[in-house]
Amino acid sequence: MRHLIEPSDFSVEELKSLLELAGDIEKNPEKYAHKCEGKKLAVCFYEPSTRTRLSFEAAMLNLGGRVLGFASADSSSAAKGESVSDTIRVISCYADICAIRHPKEGAALVASLKSGIPVINAGDGGHSHPTQTLTDLMTIWSLKGRFEGLRIGFCGDLKFGRTVHSLIEALIRYGGVSFSLISPPELKVPSYIRDELLEKNNIPYTEVVKLEDAIGDLDILYMTRVQRERFFNEEDYVRMKDFYILDRAKMALAREDMLVLHPLPRVNEISTEVDDDPRAVYFKQVQYGVYVRMALILTLLGLA
Ligand code: CP
């Protein structure tokens, strides 16, 4: 039985197969419309979500399967003190596969150890968000045609932004990638990302504070919001929240073929005046998220 807890759970070859399958689903959705008939996906979300939960639901419905679950800890027996380990043992009696989001780092891993069905990490605290990574990889693959040799800028909350951590973990496996890490000093990437992923693997990277100092060199600009829910106090959040605002003036400094990605939700960090720029692909990214989650469900259920 396979789970997806971190991006590195899939080899580069397996990721390639998954992205190819997602590409085929995009082109020929009717071929896959009945693949999951009789199967059920449980979506167990202990934290708020729009995209991840609904795209998992859409993915399973597109495959002809059915969906059950809960959208907040308050509406489950977690509110009565039930552990994740017990909950997943129960869910295993009801569904064939489970996507779980939880505020605690490592919760999806804990669930997978007690589960009778494949578990997909849909975000665990500030740690990892591997299905957002699959979405991001499919967006880059579809629109750039490669990962090798790209310079990717991550901008914003690189400390708490789990999508950043997951995507760095995935991209360092491709040759010639380099990174610009653009953040205020207080929101730099955690030291384990810098030491264990970048330094240990000799990945070229720079850390800068000003977006203007990096944007002109980038193939991809990955914007992130400041993660209010992970701050210890509101005062720090308010001080940081508008540190970066990508607008037309900053886009004028970027290459003609640079792409702007954002996992969303957006708060203020990308001005809506950028939305019409053909380089802004964050809403296309959302659509790719459905195809890639369809491919993931098929793969983990052994139906690919
Ligand atoms: N990108 C993402 O994880 O969005 P949601 O929090 O809405 O699921």
Give residue-wise pLDDT tens across range 172-229: 999 999 999 999 999 999 999 999 999 999 999 999 999 999 999 999 999 999 877 7
CB 296, CB 134: distance < 8 Å: yes
Q: Judge whether residue 230 has pLDDT over 80.
A: no
- Going from the Cα of 136 to the center of ligand 1, the distance in angstroms, rounded, reads 12
- Going from the Cα of 52 to the center of ligand 1, the distance in angstroms, rounded, reads 5
The whole-number pLDDT of residue 25 equals 98
Contacts of 230 (CB under 8 A, 6+ apart): 125, 126, 160
Query: Could you tell me the pLDDT band of residue 240, with boundaries at 50, 70 and 90?
Result: confident
So which residues are the catalytic ones? 51-52, 80, 101, 129
Structural tokens at position 205: 């990277």
CB 38, CB 301: distance < 8 Å: no
Residue to mutate (ligand 1; options 49, 54, 55, 133; most atoms within 8 A of CB): 49
- Going from the Cα of 233 to the center of ligand 1, the distance in angstroms, rounded, reads 22
Arithmetic mean of pLDDT, 43-60: 97
Arithmetic mean of pLDDT, 128-153: 97
Pocket (CB within 6 angstroms of ligand 1): 49-52, 123, 132, 263-265
Specify the ligand 1 atom closest to the Cα of 123.
Answer: 3
User: What is the pTM assigned to this prediction?
Assistant: 0.95
Residue with tokens 């971190």: 6
Q: Judge whether residue 11 has pLDDT over 90.
A: yes
Query: Could you tell me the pLDDT band of residue 231, with boundaries at 50, 70 and 90?
Result: confident
Q: Which H helix or E strand runs over 134?
A: helix 130-144
Mean pLDDT of the chain: 96
The whole-number pLDDT of residue 234 equals 83
Q: Judge whether residue 107 has pLDDT over 90.
A: yes
Whose CA is closest to atom 6 on ligand 1?
A: 49
